[in-house]
Structure formats: structure tokens, C-alpha cells
Chain A
Amino acid sequence: MAIADTTHAGHGDHHGKPHGLARWLYATNHKDIGSLYLWFAFSMFIFGGVLALCIRAELFRPGLQFWQPELFNQFTTLHGLIMVFGAIMPAFTGLANWLLPLMIGAPDMAFARMNNWSFWLLPPAALLLLISFAVPGGAAAAGWTMYAPLSTQMGMGMDLTIFAIHIMGVSSIMGSINIIVTILNLRAPGMSMMQMPMFAWATLITAYLIIAVMPVLAGVVTMVLTDRHFGTHFFNAAGGGDPVLYQHIFWFFGHPEVYIMALPAFGIVSHIIPTFSRKPLFGYTSMVYATSSIAILSFMVWAHHMFTTGMPATAQLFFMYATMLIAVPTGVKVFNWIGTMWQGSMSFETPMLFAIGFICLFTVGGLSGVTLSIAAVDIQLQDTYYVVAHFHYVLVAGALFSLFAAVYYWFPKMTGRMYHEKLGKFHFWWSMIWFNVTFFPMHFLGLAGMPRRIPDYNLQFADFNAMASVGAFCFGLGQLIFLYNMISSIRHGQPAPQKPWETADTLEWQIPTPAPYHSFVEAPTLEVGENGAIKSMQGGKHH
């Protein structure tokens, strides 16, 4: 059986790091797997980013410049799929792998070999998406949502995409099972659930969401597959099926998916804001309950993506009010972060800058979300650039900025070296400015009626599109600063102390820097406050 329990893998305690390719191919160490996830996610981020720049290059001017519309559609589709399933989700899983055992005092993830599987399924899936560009008919071009009946008609690129989604789904479900078992069963004595770090809470709830909805996505793309090849009529009106059914099942997955990409970000920010405000997190308990209620509510709002499908008015009203309700727990969170900063002794290192940038821009994205939740308004804005602006504010300035914040924040613990602070700050301000230059004008484009996923547009949209394209290229180039900072700091950065941030109080800062290869092979006994704050630690051995 391929699933080994870490509590049985005692022999791992006695030897050091394996070397060469085998270290990564057969990796069972949570830190190695975490690093693999993070590097994989970053390379997918670059790949998805290049696709985004192909889109922006075409949209720089009206008319067709570089690509035929068919290829343009493949770019938009693959950009979405790769950023969601290849970049954001694996990056959060990677962070969870790296940090969870350190934060809760576990020796490793619960199922170390399964952990290896969940990572190594991802590269083949990415490869399927990559080679789908080369098959007859090209890659999937139905948008990342793959709506039927378009997706039931395309070439074999769609089949490759469906298989890639199956594989990535299995990977993320296995990763989630690992996270849940680790958190529920492997916490060090003394750390109760209501004392856990917010990051652990957020990844725990996210993992449950993944297990609940990724199989639904797998189910609906399987229906597309059987409609395509095996004569079923799930989405074929003529055979008694219904294309709208696809949207219902897809968005039953799709809306919780939004929170799968947002909740871990909330967890990260709930550590960084307190550390650099030199105050404990304001309202820890309400944070836990807010996170849970967002997760539960996320199952009840899916049809707000479908206001234009001809739903009865009663259903529209239900989904509209349910959606607005989500703004309440989200508002609690934003309030608590601001409450944490209130009268704090704040300093503005790179992680803090990204965390504050996150709060500001995520709130902008949240507000445009409330605007879109109004059924009467959404009918006007459906599938316009307003929607594109909205979800890039929550996914780029939300999920991605929080990931940058996290990488800068935990970089010293992971590598034993400090990153280059000035370059980090430059990376933040560069990203902040060009992000807004790229995406803020899209609100205006959408309000004026520019549809998304179209390679050409009317002349009146030209100026804002040119602006957005310039912003996108600058934003993209800026990410190379991040890459340079990471690589050069891993090699030549200043050695980092055990606790580079003075008030960081969670468990991972109680162990040496860089984190020992085998940490907490013997569980420590802890006395813990809220949000994982360690008051005292006894025992706990590392190798």
C-alpha cells in the first residue's frame, strides 16, 4: 500500500536529507513537498501569465493583430484553468504542507507517501493542458467554465482538459485529506482547536470545501465526456437533457471554489497583520466562526452566476439575498484586521505591505461582488469586463498578494536567509500600481458594455484597453523581480535569526532557522493562547 503513516516512518528520523533527483521524486518530507508545490505553482503562474499577456497584446488595439479568434479563446480558457488549478490552489497546498506541521507541532503530514502522490499527479496534468495546444483543433476554448453545449462539441483538446481536471481533482482531494487528518489527529499536546493558528483553521475549512466540491466538478466534466463520446444526453436538449443543468452543477462546485482560493489568504493575513502591528489578532473567535459561515454559505449561492439563464424571480431573489449575506462574515474579517491594526505599533516590511494591499484591494473586489450580486444589475453586467475586474481584484490582489505576503513572511524560516527587503518593497509598490492600472479600467469597460472573451472590440473601448495592456505587461515584468529576489536571497541572503519578526508568536518561530529537516520528531508539550500564540514549549526534538 502506497500510503504510509508518518508515525510508522520512524527510520526517517535517523538519516539526513536524501540527495539528487531521488530527494524530489520520492519526496515524503513535508518541507520538500511544500517546496515542490510552491515552485510548481510559480512556474504555472509564469505560464498562465504569459497566456494573459498574449490576451492583453491582442486587446491592446481594436481589430485582430496577432491571433485568430479561435486561438484567442484557447488563451483565455487555459489562462483561467492554469491560474486556478495550476497556480493558486497548488500554492496554498504547498504553503499548508510547509507550515502546518510546524505550526501545530506535528512531525510531518499524516500520510507522507500519499503526499508525494498528490504532488506528482500535478505535472502530468499540466503537461496534458500544455500539449492540448498542439492537438488538432487546439486547446479547450470554451472558457475556464467549459459550459455545455460548447464543451460537448469541441475537438480533442477538450478531452485532454477533462482528463487534466480529473487528475488535478484527485491530487487536491488527496492533499486535502492529508491536511484534515494532520490537523485533527497530529496536533501537539496542549493545542486545542480553538487555539489553533488561523492559517490552520483556514486550510482545514478549505480542505473540507475541496473534498466536498472537487468530486462534483469531476462529475460534471465526466458528464461532458460521456455526452461527447458515449451517446448520453445530459446537456443535449434534443435527447431530453438540458445545457443549463451543466451550469447548475458546475457552479455548485464553482462558488465554493472561489472560497477555496480565498480562505487560506484570510488565514495568512491573520498572522501577518498581528505580527507587524505588534498586537494579538482582534476577535480570534469571531474569525473562526466567520470563516466557517463563509464556507457554509458558499454552498447556497451558486445560481448568482446564472441570473441570465431565465430563472424565476423568486429564485433570483433568494440567491441575491444569500449572496449579499456573505458580505457580513467577510465584513467581520475586514473589521477584525483593521481592529488589529488600530493603535498598533505598526511597521511596514514587505509581508505587511502585501497584507495591507490585500485588505484594500480585496475589499474593492468584495464591493464589486456585492454590486454583481444584485440580480437586476447583474443582468446588465453578466459576462462583461466588470466581472473580469471583480474576480481579478479578489484573485490577484486577494489570493496572489496574500501568497506573496506569505512567501516573504516565512522565507527566513524556510531558507534560513533573509530576502532583499528593498527589492521586496519595490516588488510590492510595482505590483500595486500596475495591478490597478491593469484592472481598474476594466470596471469602466464593463459598465460601458465591453463583453469578455472576445478578441476584438468597438473603438470606444480603445483607450482603457490600451491602458490595461500596458499595465499588464509592467505587472508581469515585475514578477521577475520577485523571482530574482527569491533565487538570489536563497543563495546569498543575510543569515536569518530564529525569529526575524519580533512579535511573531506561533510555533514555527520557536524552532531553529532554517527549520530542521525533521522537525518535532518528538511532540512538544505546549501552552497555547489564541491564534496559536505559544506561551511556553517543553520538549520537541528535531534532526
Chain B
Amino acid sequence: MATHQATPARDNRTLLLKLSLLACVMFVFAWGLIPVYDALCRVTGLGKLLQPDVVSATPAATLAAPIVLTFDATVQPGLPWQVRPLVSTLKARPGEFVRVDYEITNASNRRVIGQAIPRYLPAAAAEYVKKLDCFCFAQQVFEPGQTKRFPVVFVVDKSVPAGIDSITLAYTIFDVPGRS
């Protein structure tokens, strides 16, 4: 007589355990993806926005037409900063060093830590803006009411396509939650 006892309950239990283990492994895998992506971004240089760029020696300015540079900054609603660039716009040729100062004030009466994230318009210009110094490379600490002035030093690379004749550099300032 053929019955289902042919496969003992133990086999079912073993398979149950194996499949549950697979589910747990996949749960951990979701976290495992984080270092994988992190390494991938570092290897491919995708996450380079927040590191100083290396610029070869002293790049001489070209004779190309100057590019209109606009500086901007936004603060998310509810966050305590006032941010303004001291110059809102200037012109520079590709290959020319540019320095612009940003003034950031902590308008609250508590100590806060901020992180600036740069953004470029047009987005295609991002890879041609080589930043040598920027307050966005590190988290910045602000005492209550403190005002700080930060320089941003950069070069627009000479290989910038002719189609890009104006670039907006915009910062968004976030607070780092859980650390103040």
C-alpha cells in the first residue's frame, strides 16, 4: 500500500528549517547590500561628490568663453540655519580657480551639527566642477547663535562641454539627527 508515510515527517521538518534559514539569510542580505553598494560606489567613484578633487598642478585658464557661476543654498523647513553665499554670481573661465565664501548662522539656541550636500544645475555639470575645499566635506558643529564663514574653492575643468555656459552650485543643509 502506498501511503504518504513514505516521506517521514522528519524530511518535512528538515526542509522547513532549511527554508526558514534561507528567509533569515535573505533578511540579513538586505543589510549586506549596504557595504556592497558602498564599496561599489567607492570603486567606481560614484560617491566622489563629498571628497576633495585632485587637480593637476596649476591649471591655466583657457581662452574659452567665461561661464556664469551662480551660488545658492536652501535649508529644509524647520531646520535652524540661515545660509547665504557672500557673492551670488560671478564669471570664470574654465581652468580658473574660484573662491566663494558662504556664511552659515545657527539661528537656534541649541548646539547643532550640520552637513551640506552640493547639487549642480545642469546636473551634467557636476563632474566638471572640481572642488578643492568645501565645508561639505565634513560635518560642521555650530554653537547656539554661532555664525561661521566657509570658503569653497573650485575649478571648472577645462574639458567642460561648450554647451554648458552657466552652472549653479546649490547647497542643501541638513542637520545630523541624533548628534547635537
Contact = CB atoms under 8 A, between A and B. Distances in A.
Interface of A: 3, 5-8, 106-107, 110-111, 173, 176-177, 180-181, 184-186, 188-189, 211-220, 223, 231, 233-234, 236-239, 242, 245, 248-249, 252, 310, 312, 522-525, 539
Given A185-B7, A522-B1, A523-B2, A216 B16 contact: no
Contacts of A176: 19
A111 B16 contact: yes
A176 B16 CA distance: 10
A399 B3 CA distance: 36
Contacts of A189: 2, 6
A381 to B, nearest CB: 19
Interface stretch (B30-38, B60-68, B151-159): B30-38
13 contacts: A7-B8, A110-B16, A180-B19, A185-B7, A185-B11, A215-B24, A216-B27, A218-B30, A219-B29, A238-B115, A242-B37, A245-B33, A523-B4
B123 interface: yes
Interface of B: 1-9, 11-13, 15-16, 19-20, 22-24, 26-31, 33-34, 37, 44, 46-47, 114-115, 117, 123, 139, 174-178
Nearest to B115: A238
Contacts, number: 119
A312 B2 CA distance: 59
Given A8-B9, A185-B11, 17 more contacts: A5-B12, A7-B12, A106-B4, A212-B22, A213-B26, A216-B27, A236-B177, A238-B174, A238-B176, A239-B177, A245-B33, A248-B33, A252-B30, A312-B46, A522-B4, A523-B4, A524-B2
A11 to B, nearest CB: 15
B132 to A, nearest CB: 22
A186 B26 contact: no
Contact of A539 (B1, B15, B174): B1
Contact of B3 (A213, A249, A523): A523
Contacts of B6: 189, 523
Contacts of A7: 4-5, 7-9, 12
A188 B1 CA distance: 12
A186 B22 contact: no
A419 to B, nearest CB: 33
B29 A215 contact: yes
Contacts of A539: 1-2
A288 B2 CA distance: 28
Contacts of A188: 2
Contact of B26 (A110, A185, A216, A525): A216
Contacts of B24: 215
A107 B176 CA distance: 58
Contacts of A231: 177-178
A127 B24 CA distance: 26
Contacts of A239: 115, 176-178
Nearest to A108: B4
A215 B16 contact: no
A185 B115 contact: no
B1, B2, B174: which has the most chain A beta carbons within 10 Å?
B2
A216 B2 CA distance: 41
Q: Which 9 A-B pairs have the closest CB atoms?
A: A219-B30, A231-B178, A238-B174, A238-B115, A215-B27, A215-B26, A5-B9, A216-B30, A177-B19
B37 A245 contact: yes
Contacts of B16: 3, 110-111, 177, 181
Contacts of B15: 180-181, 184-185
Nearest to B126: A310
Contact of A525 (B2, B33, B115): B2
Contacts of B139: 238
A376 to B, nearest CB: 15
B115 A237 contact: yes
Contacts of A238: 114-115, 117, 139, 174-177
Nearest to B20: A177
Contacts of B177: 231, 233, 236, 238-239
Given A238-B175, A310-B123, A181 B8 contact: no
Contacts of B9: 5, 7-8
Contacts of B27: 215-216, 218-219
A186 B19 contact: no
Nearest to A232: B178
Contacts of A180: 15, 19
B34 A245 contact: yes
A223 to B, nearest CB: 8
Nearest to B177: A231
A252 B30 CA distance: 9
A218 B27 CA distance: 7
Contacts of B4: 6-7, 106-107, 186, 522-523
A220 B32 CA distance: 11
